[in-house]
Amino acid sequence: MGGLEAPVTSDGFTHLRPDGTAHMVDVCGKLESARESTATATVLTTSKVLALLTSDQLPKGDALGVARVAGIMAAKKTSELVPLCHPLPLSKVTVDFELLPKGINLLATVKTRGVTGVEMEAITAVSVAALSVYDMIKAVDKHAVLTDIKVLAKSGGKSGSWTL
């Protein structure tokens, strides 16, 4: 028993009503399941910034600590930022960092038990975390670049699991 499906317009769109206007899909008939998604982003910067970052000498302070909290907060606020997202009870949000020779790789994983997936929450978390890194380093590198923002994996729900 897969639960109710979102109504689909004649053009195949679930988030459009027959008159072509957008609406939030009704998910009340869907079955709950454990759901998880992971997204990534990269902040390209200079070796000088990476040295300041690893020696706790950035002018604004602990960039990664601030970015981690910003990413967690963003995941929780996704439905307030993305108009057609449903508010979800998140059970876990992690934001992690890997220092690269020319930047920082960010990874966010979000989990819930609910009726819709958490891909948008994961990509929002990693995007805002990357923005926060930029904000924390811009005093020493105004030319840092945010790149490669994407969902890497999801699991749960009717459509199952996939990995990029």
- Please tell me what DSSP assigns to residue 7: P
Selection from 27, 134, 149 nearest residue 79 by Cα: 27
Tokens of 40: 């990534």
Cite the active site residues: 135
φ/ψ of 113, rounded to 5, equals: -120, 110
User: What gap in Å lies between CA 47 and CA 140, rounded to an integer?
Assistant: 11
